[in-house]
Amino acid sequence: MRDAEWPQRIIEFSDWSRAESVAVTRLRPLLTAATRDGLLQWSFIRKAPTWRLRYRTPPGGTPPLDQALSILVTDGVIHAWVPGIYEPETTAFGGPAGMDVAHELFHRDSLHVLDQLARWQQSPDPPGLGRRELAVMLFSVSMRAAGLDWYEQGDVWARVAAERPRPPRPVPQRHRAAVRRLMTVDAGRLSNSGDGRLAPLADWISTFEWAGQQLARLNRHGRLERGLRAVLAHHLIFHWNRLGLPREDQSALSTLAKEAVMGTSEDAASTPGKSNATATVAGVNSDSTETSPDDLRARFVDKLVSNGSIRTPHVEEAMRSVPRHLFVPQAPLEKAYSNSTVDTKLDSAGRPISCASQPSIVAMMLEQLQVEPGMKVLELGAGTGFNAGLLGHLVGEKGHVITIDVDEDIVEGARSGLEAAGLDNVTVLLGDGAQGDPANAPYDRIEATVGAHAVPHAWLDQLAPQGRLLSPLRLRGSVSRSIAFERDAQGRWRSVGSEMNTFMPLRRGIADDPRAYIPLSEDGSVTLVANGDQDPDANALADVLAQPRAEAWTGVTLRGPESPEWLELWLTCTLPEGLSHMPAKREAIDSGLLTNPYPSATATFDKGTLTYLTRRKADHTAADGASLYEFGVIGHGPEAEQLTKRVADAARTWDADFRNREVAFEIQPLDAPAPEHEPGRFAFDNPLNRIIIEWQ
C-alpha cells in the first residue's frame, strides 16, 4: 500500500472540550457528503489537541476534504489542519491481511462512534449505554465471535491492563459484577429483539461480531502474522481511543474485566462465562469504578451546603435524595456530580439549546421558590427532568408537579429519568411553556427554567392568589436575573428577591427570544451575541476591532470575588443598546486583538463602534487589606472616544449615587400609565409587558 492511497489530515480544534460537538455537527455531515462523492474507508484517531483523519480515495482521485476543512478554519470551528503521513501499524494488527480487516473496522467503528456521540448530544436520555458500558460490551462481542474462551478473553483484558497500569487499590465487588454482566450479555440477540437500549446499536454490534469472525478466519488459515489475542488487544486500545474513553477508565475497566475472569490475589478465578441470553443491560449504570453515585452525590451536596448554594434543610434533603446521574446518563458520574452544566441538545451550528443546569443554580432557584409540601407546581422547561424531580420531592406525596417542554425527545427523556428515579408525582407534557397549562391551574408556584425576555400572561393568570412566579428574566440586552414575583396588596406584580442568572431562551413559542451571533474578527475568535431587543449593524461591526482604539479607566473598584452584577445591570439600563455578551477564544487575547476583557465578556455597541469592559489590579487595597480591581473600558470604531467616555461616566454614576441602593422589579401591563421619571428608575417595554427596574 502506498502512502498516497491514505491521505491523513491532522485537525486541531479551537476548544478541545468541544471537539466531540464539532465532530458531530460539522465533521460528520462533511464526511457523509464526501463519502457520496467517492471517499473510501475514512476513520479517525484522537491525539489531543487533534483528531487524525485518515481516508482512501479512488484510484486517480484527489483529496475531497481540504477545501471543506479550510472553510471550518475560516468559520472558527477548528483552529487549523495540516496534511500528514499515515503509517499503518501493519505488524501490530497481524500483517497485510489483518491490516485490511483493521481498516474496515476502523471505518465502521468511526462511523458508529460519531452516530453515538450524536445520540448522546441530541437526546437527554439516549437509547443506548454510556462509554464505559459500550467499551466493555462491544469488545466482548468481538472476542466471543473470534472463538475465544472465557480465560482467553481474560488474557486479552490482562494484556490491555498491562498497557494501562494503575496503582494497586481494592475494587468493590459490585463493580466486577457489573463488568462481568457486560462481558457476558448476549448483545447481538438483544439488539435484534427490541431491547430499547441496544436496538439502536444493532449494526455496531454486528460490526464487532464481523471483525472477530474475520480475524479468527485469518488465524485459522495462517494468515495472521501475530497472535490473535495480541491483535485483539491492540484493536481494543484503538477502539477505546475512538470512543473517547479516558486513559484512567481504560485502566480501571481492563483491570476489572481481567479480575472478573481471573480473580485477584484475594479470591479465586471465576467460573467460565457463557453468553447470557437472559441478562439485560438495564441494570448496569455508569458507576465510577472508584466511587458510587451515592458517595459522589453526598460529597457534592456537602459542597453546595458549605458554599451557601443550599440554605435550607428542605432543599438539602431533596438534593441528597434525587440522583442527578439518572437524568444525565450520557455524562460520566464525576460530571453528573460536579457543578457544571451538561449539554443535552445542540442546534445545527453546534450551540447548546438544552442542558442540565448547574446544580448550584438549581439549588439557588429552589431556595427562591420556597416550595412547601402539598403544593401544586408548574415548571416551564422540563429539560432533563432533574429539577422537576427535585420539585416532586419537595411537594411530597400530597403535592403534584407538571412540567412542560417544546421538544418531544426532551419530554421523553425527562419521563425516563423520572421513572428511573421512582418519582410518580410529576407529569411531563409536550407543549409551548409560554402557554402554561390552564387545565390544571391554579398553581401555588410557577418556575421557568428557560430564559424569557417577556413574562407570558398565562403564567400570571395561572397563579393562585398567594402564588409565586420565579423566572430567569432577560431584562435588557444580555443581562438577566432570576426574579421571584408575588402580587402585593394593590395587585401589582412586585419582586420579592432576585439573583444573577442566565438560562437558555424560550424557543418556538409566543415568547420566543432569539439571538443573533455576529463575528467581530475574520478568524471567528470573537463573537457578539445580540438579543431581540437590540439592533446591531453587522456590516459596520465586521472589522470593528481593527478600527481606532480608545481606553478609559473609571476609578470604580470591586474586591476580587465581588460580582459586578449590579454595575452591569446599571450599564444595560443606561446605554443605548444595553450590554451584550462577547465571547472570545484564547487566541484573540493572546494575539492582542482584545486586551484583558472582563470574564463576563460584557460589551456594548453603537452603530459601527464597540466597547467592552476590562479590569486591572488597583494600586490600593480595601480598608481591611483585601485586593481591589479597577474597571476600565476599551473601545474601537469611529466614535470610540465618545462611547468609551459614555460607558465610563455611567459606571462612575452608579458607583457614586446608586451602588449602595436596593433594586426592585415590577411587571406592568403595556397599557399602564407611563411611570414618572426619577433618577434610578427605568421602564422597558417588551412584546408582552413593561418591566420597571428601580434603584430604591
Long-range (24+ apart) CB contacts under 8 A made by 288-295 are 288/332, 288/333, 288/334, 289/132, 289/171, 289/175, 289/249, 289/252, 289/253, 289/256, 290/169, 290/252, 291/333, 292/172, 293/323, 293/325, 293/333, 293/336, 293/337, 294/323
φ, ψ for residue 347 (rounded to 5)?
-85, -175
Q: Is 354 among the catalytic positions?
A: yes
Rounded to whole angstroms, how far apart are CA atoms 650 and 659?
12
Active-site residue, selected from the candidate residues 251, 354, 480, 482: 354
Angle (CA) 260-264-268 rounded to 5° is 80
Distances (CA, A) of 41 to 22, 32, 117, 433: 21, 12, 19, 45
CB atoms within 10 A of CB 204: 23
Residue with cell 479551537: 14
Give, rounded to a whole angstrom, the gap between the first and last alpha carbons of the chain. 78
Rounded to whole angstroms, how far apart are CA atoms 437 and 402?
8
Residues linked to residue 85 through DSSP beta bridges, in sequence order = 7
Indicate the helix (H) or strand (E) that contains 392: helix 386-395
3-state secondary structure of 549: strand
Indicate the helix (H) or strand (E) that contains 685: strand 681-685
CB atoms within 10 A of CB 259: 25
Residues 6+ apart with CB under 8 A from 502: 451, 472, 474, 478, 480
Rounded to whole angstroms, how far apart are CA atoms 618 and 622?
10
CB atoms within 10 A of CB 677: 8
Rounded to whole angstroms, how far apart are CA atoms 380 and 358?
17
Rounded to whole angstroms, how far apart are CA atoms 227 and 647?
71
C-alpha cell at 453: 425576555
List, by residue number, the catalytic residues: 354
